[in-house]
Copies of this chain bind each other. A is one copy, B any other.
Amino acid sequence: MKTPSTTSARLAGRIKHLTGSVARDILSRTQDKEIISFAGGLPDATLWQDLKLPEVPPAAYQYGPSEGEHSLRSILAERNNSLGLPATPENTLITSGSQQGIDLAAKLLLEPGTPLILEAPSYLAAIQVFSLFEAELHTLAVDTDGICPQALDRLLTETQAPAVYLNPTFQNPSGKCYSLERRQQIAAVLDQHGTLLMEDDPYRDIYYDEAPPAPIASFLKSAPWIYFASVSKTLIPGLRLGSLTCSPELYDDLLKLKQASDLHSNRPAQFIAASMLADEAERAERIEGLCQHYRQKRDSMQQALAQHFTDLATWEIPSGGMFFWLDLEQSIDLYAALEKTLEKGVAFMPGSPFFTEKCDQGCSIRINFSLVSPKSMDKGIKILSDAVRDLQQASTCVESIA
């Protein structure tokens, strides 16, 4: 995805590691077309089609504090507190989406060659940021319950990585949710090594069976931590609002990094979010409706996949979040498949951008089910399965001729 630069300008060394997001490239190619897109991670716009934003007071028009509005920080801190995190407004920072939280943490922690441990697969836009800051990325495979605590222990001893980045709750892209026991074991390993945990938790509220276990950070006794949350998945993504909460001793540096990045986040958005989140009962009711809505979509998607993909791939039914993760039985060129499906008006995400260059990438597909209407799902999944089947047969053909 890297276009070689032809400028006469002398650029920083990190730019050779700069990649775009494949998902956003696909999105921009499909923006003006009628397309069935399983590619992005977009909420369903029908959920807010009748929503009018609350009025914004002129007080929100002036420059504001870099840490964000106290009202919103209080609401988000209280929420994090209820999850077991030692959160107060004083260690909670409003960010321009949790993506900015990742950028601030990268600035805080990473220099060329800093070892950093991630899951395989991991969130592609986090890989993008960590690569840009020239970290040396090490990965651990995710099984049904999460990464293996013993493997983490060994890798920490081996690499002396100062930090670990995890997305343990309905992970993007795999949909996996770490068990309570794993969370406690991982926290113990991090405490033992004194390793900083970056925990990215944007999907926590969207669950279809039971509520997920508490954040890993809530089980830490001494290791430093940064916990990223977002309102993009449950409120309004266009606001670009998220938050980070962290060990108090990290807060001052993260606040200065925020200030240097953009002074502060959009203030009307902060007033809107604070107003929409102020009433806890109302918030709970809205989230409950959202979960019901997406649960139906998950079930429709499972039905379509069972119909068209049973002979082609294996997968687990996600108990939260917005994605299915399909492991294909036979490897094919997924970008060739993508070209075929785009011609027929269907977009999906090949799995490779969710892996670092070094690790085993298998042959997987991420399927988003939050955006597309149930009636388009079957049509789109059929087109996708046809493309995969064609390419598999072509490759089997080549193999048998050879």
Contacts and interface: CB of A to CB of B under 8 A. Distances in A.
A268 B265 contact: no
Given A12-B109, A260-B132, A237 B20 contact: no
A264 B252 contact: no
Contact of A268 (B13, B64, B253, B268): B268
9 contacts: A12-B107, A12-B109, A24-B66, A51-B61, A96-B266, A97-B263, A103-B261, A125-B260, A239-B266
A63 B232 contact: yes
Nearest to A50: B58
B262 A97 contact: yes
A42 to B, nearest CB: 6
A250 to B, nearest CB: 6
Nearest to A125: B260
B7 A250 contact: yes
A300 to B, nearest CB: 21
Contacts of A259: 20-21, 24, 125, 128
A12 B263 contact: no
Interface residues of A, number: 86
B260 A103 contact: yes
A99 B262 contact: yes
Contacts of A260: 18, 99, 103, 125, 128-129, 132
Which 8 residue pairs spanning A and B have beta carbons closest together? A238-B267, A10-B162, A266-B266, A96-B262, A7-B249, A9-B224, A100-B262, A12-B111
B240 A264 contact: yes
A74 interface: no
A169 B5 CA distance: 31
A238 B9 contact: no
Contacts of A252: 3, 5
Given A7-B224, A9-B196, A103-B260, 12 more contacts: A7-B250, A13-B111, A18-B256, A18-B257, A19-B256, A43-B62, A53-B56, A96-B266, A107-B132, A240-B267, A268-B272, A269-B269
A262 B238 contact: no
A92 B141 CA distance: 41
A9 B61 contact: no
Contacts of A264: 240
A58 B62 contact: no
Given A100-B262, A269-B266, A238 B63 contact: yes
A194 interface: yes
Nearest to A3: B252
A65 interface: yes
A201 to B, nearest CB: 17
Interface string A49-88: 1010100101011111110000000000000000000000
Contacts of A42: 62-63
A19 B256 CA distance: 7
Nearest to A250: B7
Contacts of A129: 260
Nearest to A110: B12
Contacts of A224: 7-9
Contacts of A267: 238-240
